[in-house]
Amino acid sequence: MAGCRQGAVPRLFGCSWEPHNKSGFVHTHVGFVQRWRLGGASQSSDATPLLVSKIVGSSRSGSVTHRNFVVMAAAAAAESNQDNLPAVSNVVTVRHADLLNKSSDLAAVLEEGFGPSGLGIIAISGVPKFSELRKKLLKLSQSLSALPEEAKLQLEDPISKYSFGWSYGKEILDSGQPDSLKGSFYANPLYDVPTLDAKLIQRYPAHCRPNLWPTKHLPELEPTFKMLGALMVEVGLLIANHCDKYILLVKGRIN
C-alpha cells in the first residue's frame, strides 16, 4: 500500500490465506500493493466487486483448488481500461447473499470460474460495506506514502523479508533493478501477534512476525485495515465452504 510519487493511485488490496502444514496454523496475510502511473486519479465504481482467485494447485478432484485463495479488492473495469489492459467480460459473478445461503447450489458457478476452463476468478457482488471500506483504506494508503521517511523506516521488517509492514524498493526485478514504482504494506488482519512460539517465529518469519502499525502518525489505518481485511477473509471462507461442498459432490460422482 502507499506511494512515493505525486499523483499516485492505489490499485489493489489483496488478502491470502492457506493452511500451513508445517507450522500447524492457518496463515492469513493481507496487504496493499500500489503501482504508480502517470496522470491524475482515476474514478472507481461504487459497485466494484470483490474478486476471489484460486492459487496454482488443485484438490484431488482436479477441478477446484481447495481452501487456497487470494481475495482481491481490485480496481473497477473502467479503471483498468485506462491502462490499456484488455477488458474481461466473462468473469463469473456470485451474489454475496447466495454465499451466505448454505443451501445454495453453486457447483456450476464454481466449475465455470475455478474449473480447468475457467479464468480462475469469481467476482462477488453486493458485499456489505465493501466499497465504503475500500475507498477509505485506499485513501489512507496515500497518507501512508506521504509519511516522513523516518516514520516509514520504523514500519519496515527485514527479518520477515518485508512480509510485514512497509516495503518499498525491496523487490528486485528481472533486470536486476529494484522495483521503485511499487510500495506495499502488509499485515495480518485477524491477529496482531500470530504466535508466541519463538521456534515458529524464527523458522517462519514471513508468517509469524507481529504486525507493525503507524499508530503515532496514522492511527486510523489499523482499524480500517482490519475491518476490510476481516471482511475479505470472511468472504473467502464462504467461497471455501462452498468449494468443500463441490469437492464432496465430485467425489460422490467418482465413487
pLDDT tens digit sequence for 108-127:
999 999 888 888 889 999 99
Segment 143-163 shows an average pLDDT of 95
Burial classification of residue 222, based on how many CB atoms lie within 10 Å of its CB (0-12 exposed, 13-18 middle, 19 or more buried): middle
Instruction: State the sign of the Cα–Cα–Cα–Cα dihedral 234, 122, 3, 158.
Output: positive
Q: Is the pLDDT of residue 192 over 90?
A: yes
Q: Is the pLDDT of residue 92 over 80?
A: yes
Q: What is the rounded average pLDDT for all residues in the chain?
A: 75
Query: In this predicted structure, what is the pLDDT of residue 80?
Result: 37
129-145 residue pLDDT tens: 999 999 999 899 989 99
User: Which amino acid, one-letter code, is at 178?
Assistant: P
CA distances from 226 to 173, 178, 192 (A): 30, 29, 10
Return d(Cα 89, Cα 77) in angstroms, integer: 9
Instruction: State the sign of the Cα–Cα–Cα–Cα dihedral 76, 69, 168, 134.
Output: positive
Query: In this predicted structure, what is the pLDDT of residue 150?
Result: 96
* Among 145, 206, 130, residue whose Cα is nearest residue 8: 145
Query: In this predicted structure, what is the pLDDT of residue 63?
Result: 38
Segment 13-32 shows an average pLDDT of 45
Q: Is the pLDDT of residue 100 over 50?
A: yes
Could you tell me if 74 and 44 are in contact, meaning their C-beta atoms sit under 8 angstroms apart? Answer: no
By DSSP bridging, strand 165-168 and strand 182-187 are: antiparallel
Q: Is the pLDDT of residue 3 over 50?
A: no
Q: Would the pTM of this model clear 0.85, i.e. be above it?
A: no
Query: In this predicted structure, what is the pLDDT of residue 136?
Result: 93
Segment 49-69 shows an average pLDDT of 46
Cβ partners under 8 Å of residue 199, min gap 6: none
